[in-house]
Amino acid sequence: FQIAFFKRWWEEQDTEMHDKVRELVKNGQLEFINGGYCMNDEANAHYTATIDQMSVGLQFLQKEFGPYAAPRIAWQIDPFGHSSAQAGLSAQMGLEGLFFARMHYQDYERRAQARELEFNWVAEGRNIFAGKFFRQSQYSAPPGFCFDIHCSDPPLVPNSKSPEYNLVERINVLITYLSNQAAAYRSGHIMLTMGEDFNFEDAHMYFKNLDILMKHVNADTANNGFKMIYSTPSRYMDAVLSNIKNLSNKTDDLFPYADGEHSYWTGYFTSRPTLKGYIRSMNSFLQACKHIELMAPATSYTSELLRLAMGVAQHHDAVTGTSKQHVADDYAERLAIGQTQCENLINTGIKHLTGSVNDLYSCRLAANESTCHITGDTTKSIFTFIVYNPRSIAKDIYLRIPMSSSAYRLVNPTDPTAFVSYIPTHYTSYQINPKALPIEAIVHLKVPGMGFTTFQLKKDFGIDYRIVMKSIPVVKTENIRIESESLIVYFDGESGSLKQVVDKKSQKTLRISAKFMNYRSNVGDKLDRQTSGAYIFRPVNGTVAQDIDRPILKNYLPGEFVTEVWQSFGDWVNLVYRVYVNKPYIEVEWTVGPIPMDHGREVILRYSTDLDSGKTFYTDSNGREMLRRVLDYQPTWSLNQTEPVAGNYYPVNSRISIKDMESHFTVLTDRSQGGSSLSSGQVELMLHRRMYKDDFKGVGEPLNETQFGHGLITRGRHWLFYSDLDSYGDHRDIGLDLFYQPVVSVGGDVEVGNIPRSGIQNTNKDLNVVTFERFDETSLIVRLENIRSKSEGGKMISADLKKIFGAYFSENFKELGLAGDRPIEKVVKDLKEHTKYDSGSVIVLKPLQIRTFILLK
């Protein structure tokens, strides 16, 4: 059940209808399930976005209906695969059961035969009852029993004198179906789903037929063995659990999903990469917007539009990239409207907080385009920047600001160590936007956790383009050597290709290369008519990726704080390596497109190393736990691999790792992508897709994104992290730095009266403030997270709410379930055990645990 639709209907109703619905809910006659603003995707949605969208819906129900409406069931019946993080988060929200429709066809066949379609899912240390619907990929009525006006199935005719009389024949068909379904379950109870997408438009006709069906089945229970009743998912779950005490346990996830030998739903892990990147960047931006909405005096601007747009964007046909193009455009438009509202809120809020009399503006520095209407104004002699860090610990950041000229020096920085350098805008930026500015200022500075810093760039006519970082000629027979505080990195002097990385701390060396390749999209063959499309990834021949072109070194730009190496791979693929002097990773910025339309292509970036990782690799579950993957293997059934590439692809929401006995290599991503390790020491990530055939799975049009009359150009980043295993868990800290991007307000010669402080005090990099926002007129809601898992060296963390939140803290605080819609007593079975390490304002977080609190103002 998706609250976005119900909320729209609810707001159109009068008081009389509101009272009727509230009475039905209070009496238990109307039950809400799931309760999220949407039914979110489980491959591409980041856990913070899932928590946010579920909170919007569940808190709406709490506000309108009180505790009577609190759902007990997670209803994830349409996503294309299911994550362990979704199961774990659902349990932490107080949901007791999770029902779904899609499962790998081989897993389904095994479970149906073993009568294990219902099981106990153990995820993130929590248990949740899980139920797979009968029939693969279906949540509709049994064949022949759809009574909606859109269906062509015959209505029931119980009058034996009618020439259309069909009651006995129809009931016999149904009893056969029910017998087959009952054979796949253990409890003696089965759920018969009736309905589908867009059904019950004539509810009276549908229920009239159901009444007839139930009456006559129940009249012959002694012979047919079935009794039919109207019920709800929670009542069904209670009935099942009252009869079964020994459900099997599941600890992994349900990826990848396939509904046929050559139909692996792994393409949508990457489809519409620019929309995926936009949604991820808006996730971080929304957190900053909510922070400042709480810190600053109220204005006419709110975070509501972006909050709701982000809620819808997590839908299983939105962030997945599996909608029609005009629908994807609508998702992006809603986000842009919400973004503009939040930009106004942030700029107005910061103006109040700083005591500025001048207006502030936003430049979308994280966008694909190197442009800014403020800094591109050549008539301005000074620009003021106020930077906000939405992460709860201090960050050392590198801002890249498009400029019309390098003739500006840095003045009046809050951070005395701040430094600016200039670099030419990458030539691909002009392909994306012909009006891109020619120069980028790289400003290195430190920003307090959930706090602000400022600086100005002032025109100095004694400075000219001579200070722009210049390309250094390289002797082609020599390697390029770049050394930072943590790494020594070697590149090939002729091609610019990455060759070797030395971790200075452990003195371990990794041989590595990066190569752009593409799979040719299948348009159907002798084996199967299945094509690649928005949902499906199916390469021609199943196995072979082709090199796109020979790499060429385009630029080598050494600098004091960052050094860049530019590469091209033909006309439409480009790569920039960045080595920062004080960062433990290598930044890889990729730009892909327009993809030629000679045939369908699926573009990957493959990293090859000398790590002896064998067949094992690790991917994250929605940014949470790292799950072990093994090539051509599933832990709960004997896999018959029929698609050796697509069948080994998994969702990479934020990172993918390989390891040997001593070291690891981890790639962190700025958006969800499909990825795998098809050979020992390799990691590949799919960046972009374009094809001219639909895959017959529901979109109804090819995945062929364009811009300005040409194929879409998309740009993104990977952070490459290599170290010994002792430092492996540091990927958590690095990943949060990639997720929480700074927010920048820009003005002219702005008088900054004071530098506001957030009042948040946190120095523990393993402690993350997930949520800091207004809850209602008298309170705020906060969520704290221990970011490390136990397997990554995570330990229990003590967090003093009073010290962390300072003036925002209230002794009158209380803990809620994860979505903030119900008391913690309704979520945990043993409250004493849950709080046994807490003392006063000090709470304790176990590894990877998130806890939610209301602080009264």
DSSP state of 468: B
Q: Which two tokens stand for residue 274?
A: 């620019």
CA distance 694 to 702: 4
Among residues 475, 468, 476, the alpha carbon closest in space to that of 564 is found at 468
Residue whose C-alpha is closest to residue 561's, from 576, 580, 587: 580
Residue pair 75/99 in contact (Cβ under 8 Å)? The answer is: yes
**Positions marked active-site:** 78
Q: Which two tokens stand for residue 729?
A: 């868990």
Q: What is the DSSP string of 113-125?
A: HHT-SEEEEEETT
Q: Tokens for 100, please give them.
A: 């779904």
What does 618-673 look like in DSSP terms, one character per residue? EEESTTS-EEEEETT-BTTB----S-TTGGG-EEESSEEEEE-SSEEEEEEESS-E
Backbone φ, ψ for residue 105 (5° rounding):
-60, -30
In eight-state DSSP terms, residue 792 is G
Instruction: Identify whether the C-beta of residue 496 lies closer than 8 Å to the C-beta of residue 478.
Output: no
Dist CA 159 CA 452 (whole Å): 77
By DSSP bridging, strand 97-100 and strand 126-132 are parallel
Q: Looking at residue 148, what DSSP letter applies?
A: S
Region at 35 (left for phi over 0; alpha for psi -120 to 50; beta for the rest): left
Q: Which residues contact 459 (CB under 8 A, 6 or more apart)?
A: 380, 381, 382, 405, 407, 408
DSSP 239-277: HHHHH-S-PPEE-S-B-S-BSSTT-B--STTTSSHHHHH
DSSP 363: -
Collapsed DSSP state (helix, strand, coil) of residue 717: strand
Q: What is the CA radius of gyration of the chain?
A: 28
Phi-psi region of 149 (alpha: psi -120 to 50; beta: other; left: phi over 0): alpha
Tell me the backbone φ, ψ of residue 558, rounded to 5 degrees.
-80, 140
Which secondary-structure segment (H or E) carries 423? strand 419-424
How many Å apart are CA 610 and CA 665, to the nearest integer? 10
CA distance 360 to 347: 5
Nearest in space to 90 (alpha carbons), one of 81, 99, 78, 80: 99
State the residue for tokens 């109040």.
352
Task: Give the dihedral of Cα atoms 78, 83, 88, 90; nearest 10 deg.
Answer: -20
